[in-house]
Chains A and B, each alone.
Chain A
Amino acid sequence: MDKAVFKALNGGASYNPSGRNSGLISLASVLLAAWALMWAFPALAANIGAGPEYREFPLIGSRVAVWVAAEVHLMFAAFVLGVPMFAVIVELVAMLTGEKKYDALAREFSKLVTLSTSITAIWGGILLFLLVTLYPKFWNYLSGIFAPTMWIYPVLFLLELVFVYLYYYSWDRMTEGRSKWVHFGLGIMVNVVGTILLFLANTWATFMMTPGGINPDTGELVSLFEAIYNFAWMPINIHRLIANVTFGGAVAAGYAAFKFMYSKTPEDKAHYDWMGYVGMMIAMWSFLVLPFAGYYLMREIYAYDQTMGITMMGGFLSWVWIIQALVISVLFLGLNYYMWCGLERIEGGERYQPYIKYLLTVLVLGVMVWATPHSLIATPEEVSAMGGAHHEVFGSLGVMSAKMTAVNLMILASAIGFMFYRRANKIATHPSAKMLNLVQGGIFGGAALIILYLGIDGYFVSPIVRVEKYSIWQVLLVLFAILSTTGLDVILFRNCRTTGGINWGRMAPRSQYALLLVAVAFTWLMGLMGYVRSISRQHWHVNKVLEDTSVDAFSPALGYVSTVVTACTIIFLGLVMLIFWINSLTEKKKAA
């Protein structure tokens, strides 16, 4: 195995004369990662015997050590699994259209992945070592259940590394005809192996939440298949798969923003402006489906165990969702702001600027409703002035119905903003343009009104109707409105007149800060959601099967949580910056 990697990488490094620097570093890190993985698994899964149940990590304690290692590992994993998904799609677009600029973009995306995959492996190693040394009891149990999957895992990881490096380093060699298709096949393999890896790792994490396939009293394994295919497995697989794309898009857009601001030449500026735009689009569209997946996951968890469901949604974690609402609001505002700023680089875009204020009003009102807590923080005087902890007017905004409505209207407003962006330099010449425009307006307006109506009526119907019918209708309405108006746009703007081109690169720097903000906010959000998923088990390593009897078994307070999540975000983004910097070393050589 090592030999294969070595050969592949060695070859890779010499294929690309300008890539020597990063090639060497990559090689070193791959070997290190391989070493970590090879060592850790067989040696430590066995023979733990009668040692201590827990060990203490200095200074920060065992829990925080494992927490940070797991979260940073996960962030990297999400990034390196997400980016290849759209890299191959962009490559395919390039192959089908013959547009060189798409090919260059796909190549750049895949370049971000190489070193990051090695670093993912290293963090996986760190996590593993920490688990084994700090939580021997837990590790002993988990590895007892999942041993076979843990043997396959490192092998697959090496395979993934090989494909990732081959994919990038063979890019300039396999450019024509059939070899290009082979190259595309490599990209597909990166994704296939990556997805299997993700699903495997998810079995362990979801087993801890919703264990299956074991004897509930003794905890002994009855069926490995059911342990793997436990309750939360598929929902988490789907949720993470989508979130990875969004995350990859957001971080890639952040990378582009960073490069944009450093670019000296108009060509570079244009390239990175465009790359940022593509990354942002990927993040935005995949982000739209994420609530579905999240909803499915929550529903499954609720059905599995109301204690866990309420712990996550209504209990002491309910404030996490207020924080989540705030962070997602930042994402919404950031993405829309970026789009509005983008109107300036399009000739004709100024025609749509006056509408910004209306869209913004919807967004801000939406944020206000969405982040209104169910239980308010109030002093005793305020409580008696309100006549209870519930406020007559604003208290009713704290429930599902209001929040769902707010979010859907925010999505609708963003979709309208995007429609304006698309039309910014177009003038329809279709004979019944006026009519079609009216129809589109009617669809948006009608959808908004029905969503609002369902939201209000949602207060008066049973929860099952509200959750299973209304909230789904609302989302379907939003999707219908988006898809139908986009379809009409295609008809409307066939053979249209244009008011001018898109001046890529002529973008205000403040818009790029918005992209950076989105990347940071998204990373932070991932960290927060990771905490929620983990803490839903409360004082259990494996829910209701293996109890956490360590000193860290308590649930930490939110202020503390946000500090740790911030630390993870800083570590991740710091390392990402390092990777970007290392990558840029080869470029400088090219320029010289």
Chain B
Amino acid sequence: MQFLKNALVQTVIVLLLGFVVLELVQPPIPLSLLMFYMSAIAVGMAVYSTSTTERMESFWAPIRTLLVSPSLKLLRIAVLTAIPAGAAVLTAFALIPSNSAPATLRVIHPAPPGSITFEGKPINLREAVNPFRELKGTDQQAFAGKVELGREVYFKNCFQCHGDHLDGEGPFAKAFNPRPANFQDVGTIAQLQESYLFWRIAKGGPGLPAESTPGRSAMPRWEGILNTDQIWAVILFLYEKTGHPPRTWE
């Protein structure tokens, strides 16, 4: 077991182990992420292997022996052929044509425009606030009424995709890519200001900027179907039902 103390051997073991663990993760992770994680581990091992002079020598020793020792001639030839050969094989595989679409990057939360026109009227998204929000402090009953209106809007228009539990698991959900947003998740509406939601609901997928692939989003555009009050009400409902407060900066 003495050879386990060698820095080069340890490096190889850690890299292999890291690779196996990452490959075992379910669901499988995309290649881009796998490559990044493996590079991080490799850099870490390079740092470790040279962190002390003693370790660095132990790292180079087997390599040096392989390169100079007369008795290892055969092995040397084998390794020195295997490296370019391996590179050639990998290159060949990379060149095999494939009919799968290239990897894409979709921005989930693009920057909203500064202002939009909704049914002919300009709305400044920078200043727009939910007109019903203040009722929460002043008139509990009216507030509950607006939430109720939002619930109706939701279960007439949205649950098919966004789900009964607002978790993005509606009956249609699996058919879409990107999948309908999961409002329970802290990564969606909990991060956003209410005016942002107004924009997303009013303008839907088609209103997204290019980096968010507007052509692929199934989110309908609700302008012309829902009016301003209905949209603000459904926003209220989304936040009340999930228990997330909207993002504010005060």
Chain A interface mostly? helix
In the assembled complex, B196 has its CB within 8 A of some CB on chain A = yes
Q: Are B47 and A377 in contact (CB under 8 A)?
A: no
Residue of A nearest to B173 (CB): A388
Q: Are A388 and B179 in contact (CB under 8 A)?
A: yes
In the assembled complex, B30 has its CB within 8 A of some CB on chain A = yes
In the assembled complex, B125 has its CB within 8 A of some CB on chain A = yes
Q: A368-B37, A388-B178 are in contact. Are A377 and B114 (CB under 8 A)?
A: no
| Interface residue from A360, A379, A388, A390 paired with B48 (Cβ < 8 Å) | A360
**Bound CA span A392–B29, Å:** 10
**Bound CA span A383–B178, Å:** 9
In the assembled complex, B81 has its CB within 8 A of some CB on chain A = no
Residue of A nearest to B177 (CB): A383
| Interface residue from A360, A385, A459 paired with B47 (Cβ < 8 Å) | A360
Interface string of B212-250 (1 = CB under 8 A from A): 000000000000000000000000000000001101110
Contacts of A473 in B (CB 8 A): none
**Bound CA span A299–B51, Å:** 39
Residues facing A in B91-106 (CB within 8 A) are: 100-106
Residues facing A in B22-49 (CB within 8 A) are: 25, 27-33, 36-37, 40-41, 43-44, 47-48
Q: A310-B109, A357-B48, A377-B105 are in contact. Are A382 and B211 (CB under 8 A)?
A: no
In the assembled complex, A217 has its CB within 8 A of some CB on chain B = no
Q: Are B100 and A379 in contact (CB under 8 A)?
A: yes
In the assembled complex, A378 has its CB within 8 A of some CB on chain B = yes
- The count of chain B contact residues (Cβ–Cβ below 8 Å) is 55
In the assembled complex, A316 has its CB within 8 A of some CB on chain B = yes
Q: Are B103 and A378 in contact (CB under 8 A)?
A: yes
| Interface residue from A310, A374, A389 paired with B112 (Cβ < 8 Å) | A310
Contacts of A544 in B (CB 8 A): 114
Interface string of B185-208 (1 = CB under 8 A from A): 011001101011000000000000
Contacts of A388 in B (CB 8 A): 177-179
Contacts of B71 in A (CB 8 A): none
In the assembled complex, B160 has its CB within 8 A of some CB on chain A = no
Q: Are A378 and B44 in contact (CB under 8 A)?
A: no
In the assembled complex, A265 has its CB within 8 A of some CB on chain B = no
Residue of A nearest to B114 (CB): A307
In the assembled complex, B171 has its CB within 8 A of some CB on chain A = no
Q: Are A305 and B114 in contact (CB under 8 A)?
A: yes
Q: Are B107 and A310 in contact (CB under 8 A)?
A: no
| Interface residue from B108, B125, B248 paired with A464 (Cβ < 8 Å) | B248
Q: A299-B249, A391-B27 are in contact. Are A344 and B101 (CB under 8 A)?
A: no
Contacts of B50 in A (CB 8 A): 510
Q: Are B186 and A460 in contact (CB under 8 A)?
A: yes
How close is A19's CB to chain B, nearest CB, in angstroms?
Answer: 40
Q: Are B114 and A364 in contact (CB under 8 A)?
A: no
Q: Are B177 and A393 in contact (CB under 8 A)?
A: no
In the assembled complex, B73 has its CB within 8 A of some CB on chain A = no
Chain B interface mostly? loop
| Interface residue from B40, B177, B179, B209 paired with A367 (Cβ < 8 Å) | B40
Q: Are A380 and B28 in contact (CB under 8 A)?
A: no
**Bound CA span A353–B30, Å:** 36
Q: A333-B47, A360-B44, A378-B103 are in contact. Are A306 and B109 (CB under 8 A)?
A: no
Q: Are B190 and A462 in contact (CB under 8 A)?
A: yes
**Bound CA span A174–B190, Å:** 62
**Bound CA span A462–B191, Å:** 9
In the assembled complex, A384 has its CB within 8 A of some CB on chain B = yes
In the assembled complex, A28 has its CB within 8 A of some CB on chain B = no
- The count of chain A contact residues (Cβ–Cβ below 8 Å) is 67
In the assembled complex, A291 has its CB within 8 A of some CB on chain B = no
**Bound CA span A413–B187, Å:** 28
Q: Are B245 and A315 in contact (CB under 8 A)?
A: no
How close is A141's CB to chain B, nearest CB, in angstroms?
Answer: 20
How close is B187's CB to chain A, nearest CB, in angstroms?
Answer: 6
Q: Are A463 and B109 in contact (CB under 8 A)?
A: no
How close is A460's CB to chain B, nearest CB, in angstroms?
Answer: 7
Residue of A nearest to B48 (CB): A360
Q: Are B44 and A363 in contact (CB under 8 A)?
A: yes
Q: Are A393 and B25 in contact (CB under 8 A)?
A: yes
| Interface residue from A340, A386, A399 paired with B30 (Cβ < 8 Å) | A386
In the assembled complex, A148 has its CB within 8 A of some CB on chain B = no
Contacts of A395 in B (CB 8 A): 187
Residues facing B in A566-582 (CB within 8 A) are: none
Residue of B nearest to A308 (CB): B111
Q: Are B106 and A389 in contact (CB under 8 A)?
A: yes
Residues facing B in A289-327 (CB within 8 A) are: 299, 302-303, 305-308, 310-311, 314-316, 318-319
How close is B127's CB to chain A, nearest CB, in angstroms?
Answer: 10
Contacts of B32 in A (CB 8 A): 376-378
Residues facing B in A493-514 (CB within 8 A) are: 508, 510
Contacts of A311 in B (CB 8 A): 111
In the assembled complex, B145 has its CB within 8 A of some CB on chain A = no
Residue of B nearest to A395 (CB): B187
Contacts of A396 in B (CB 8 A): 187
**Bound CA span A319–B110, Å:** 12
Contacts of B107 in A (CB 8 A): 314-316, 318, 375
How close is B158's CB to chain A, nearest CB, in angstroms?
Answer: 18
Q: Are B249 and A315 in contact (CB under 8 A)?
A: no
How close is B171's CB to chain A, nearest CB, in angstroms?
Answer: 16
Contacts of B106 in A (CB 8 A): 375, 389
In the assembled complex, A186 has its CB within 8 A of some CB on chain B = no
Q: Are B249 and A386 in contact (CB under 8 A)?
A: no
Contacts of B52 in A (CB 8 A): 340-341, 343-344, 350, 353, 356
Q: Are B193 and A356 in contact (CB under 8 A)?
A: no
Q: Are B33 and A372 in contact (CB under 8 A)?
A: yes
**Bound CA span A399–B50, Å:** 33
How close is B16's CB to chain A, nearest CB, in angstroms?
Answer: 16
In the assembled complex, B126 has its CB within 8 A of some CB on chain A = yes
Interface string of A542-554 (1 = CB under 8 A from B): 0010000000000
The 9 A-B residue pairs with the shortest CB-CB distance, nearest first, are A315-B111, A364-B44, A378-B30, A311-B111, A377-B32, A310-B111, A382-B30, A316-B211, A303-B249
Chain A to chain B contacts (Cβ below 8 Å), 12 pairs: A306-B126, A315-B109, A316-B209, A353-B52, A356-B52, A357-B48, A360-B51, A364-B43, A371-B36, A377-B30, A378-B32, A462-B190
13 other A-B residue contacts (CB within 8 Å) besides A299-B249, A381-B100, A463-B190: A307-B111, A314-B111, A316-B107, A318-B107, A333-B47, A337-B51, A364-B40, A372-B33, A378-B30, A379-B104, A382-B31, A460-B186, A463-B191
Q: Which residues of A contact B (CB under 8 A)?
A: 299, 302-303, 305-308, 310-311, 314-316, 318-319, 333, 337, 340-341, 343-344, 350, 353, 356-357, 360-361, 363-364, 367-368, 371-396, 398-399, 401, 459-460, 462-464, 508, 510, 544
